[in-house]
Each structure stands twice: as structure tokens, then as C-alpha cells.
Structure 1
């Protein structure tokens, strides 16, 4: 058994596989995921697990250089958006229309579906490099 870090074997393998400039999407429970995109479903029930704790666990092992979220998140889920910014104090947050976010899903290395039920709570992680 692993001593620390990500215990989920699919998440651990995904982080090990991720390269610079690739994207990993953390999704709420309702985001439509294209069938050709790898989906790691960690959802248990509505609200479990929430997206931000999953993000925090992933940040312990993955280098990211930026994140992207839907523009609608700031207006329709302002408290969640503020929590995201507190979770990523030194990471640039880019905004794009929700439809554009969905259109970019086929280019993702994988989508991690959570049980998050906050509207527009989806985050694209732009993988960085540690050197």
C-alpha cells in the first residue's frame, strides 16, 4: 500500500502519465463527457466527493501552470469560485465560455468526474513541468 499521496490507482497513474502542456479536467457530476475521452469517475453520490478536496489531493503530486474555468462560474457560483482562488493562490486562472470549455474536452488527457453539484464547477488543469 502506498504510504502517502493519491491512493486511487487510476488518479496516481494519470498524474504519472501527464506531461507538460497536457490538460486534465476536474468535472462536476453533470458535465457531459465525450465517449472517446478517458473518464475516471470518483463520484459516490451528489456532493461526494466535492471537487476542491480532490483538486487539493491532486495538487500534492501534479505540477500545474494554470487553470481554466467557465466564465459563468464567477457569476453563478461566486463562493465556489472564491474557494478555488484560495486553493490556487499563485496559479493563473483563465476564464472561457462554458460552451468553449465543453468543446475542449476531447483534447483532455482525462476527465475526473466528482460528485460536485455546484453549477459550473469544472476546472481544466494545464499541466506544467517541475524544472
Structure 2
């Protein structure tokens, strides 16, 4: 059994398959999931697990060189925005652009988060 890092076997296996510039989405419970993108759905009730809980756990085990969040988060969810900005090198795009970008993702992790615009696209970096 693993002692450290991501212990969810589906997430751990998926993260191990990522290469430089591959895209990973961590989504709230309302983001549309494109039919061609694999989704690991962690939600079990409204609000759980929280977006930030999963984002932090993923970032402990995943090298992200860049992140994209919806610019609408600035006015609709500034608390989540503030935490995201402390965790990642973040660029703003429109929510519609984020939904289009999610169609190119290698994986979507769906949380139970139920606050506006609590979604992020992480671009995989390299560890050297």
C-alpha cells in the first residue's frame, strides 16, 4: 500500500500517465463533462468533497506549470479565487473558454463543490 501522495488508485494511475502540457480539470459538480473525456467522480453529496480539498491533494502529487480559471470567479467566488491564486500560477479565461478547454483534457476530476466557478484546468509541467 502507498504511504504518501494520492491514494485514490484511479487518480494515482491517471496522474502517472500525464506528460508535459497534458490538461487536468478539477471541476465543481455543475461543470459539463465532455463525453470523450474520462471523469473520476468523487462527489458523494452536495459540497463534498470540496474543490479546494481535492485541488490541494492533487497539487501535492502533480506538477502543474500553469492553471486556468474562469474570470467570472473574481466577482462570483472571490474566496475560492484567493486560495487558488496562492496555490498555482494562474491565468484567467472566460468560463466558456474553460468549458471548451476542458474538452481537450486528459482527465476530469469531479468534486461535490457547489459554489460558482470552482473549476480549474491544470497544465502538466515537468519535474526536472
TM norm. shorter chain > 0.5: yes
Equivalent position of 1:119 in the other structure? 116
Residue 61 of structure 2 corresponds to residue 64 of structure 1 = no
Compute the RMSD of aligned alpha carbons.
0.9
Equivalent position of 2:12 in the other structure? 12
Instruction: Give how far 1:123 is off.
Output: 0.4
Distance 2:6 2:39 in 1: 17
Flag structure 1 segments of 5+ consecutive residues without an equivalent.
Answer: none
1:28-47 CA-to-partner distances (Å, cap 9, x unmatched) read 00001111110010111111
What's the secondary structure of 1:66's corresponding residue?
strand
What's the secondary structure of 1:54's corresponding residue?
helix
Aligned residues: 128
- TM-score, length of structure 2 as denominator length: 0.96
Checking the alignment, whether the CA contact within 8 Å between 2:51 and 2:111 is kept in structure 1 is yes
Equivalent position of 1:75 in the other structure? 75
- TM-score, length of structure 1 as denominator length: 0.94
What's the secondary structure of 1:115's corresponding residue?
coil
2:89 to 86, 89, 92: 92
Q: Where do 4+ consecutive residues of structure 1 move more than 2 Å?
A: none
What's the secondary structure of 2:30's corresponding residue?
coil
Checking the alignment, whether the CA contact within 8 Å between 2:102 and 2:121 is kept in structure 1 is no
Distance 1:95 1:112 in 2: 20
Distance 1:98 1:106 in 2: 13
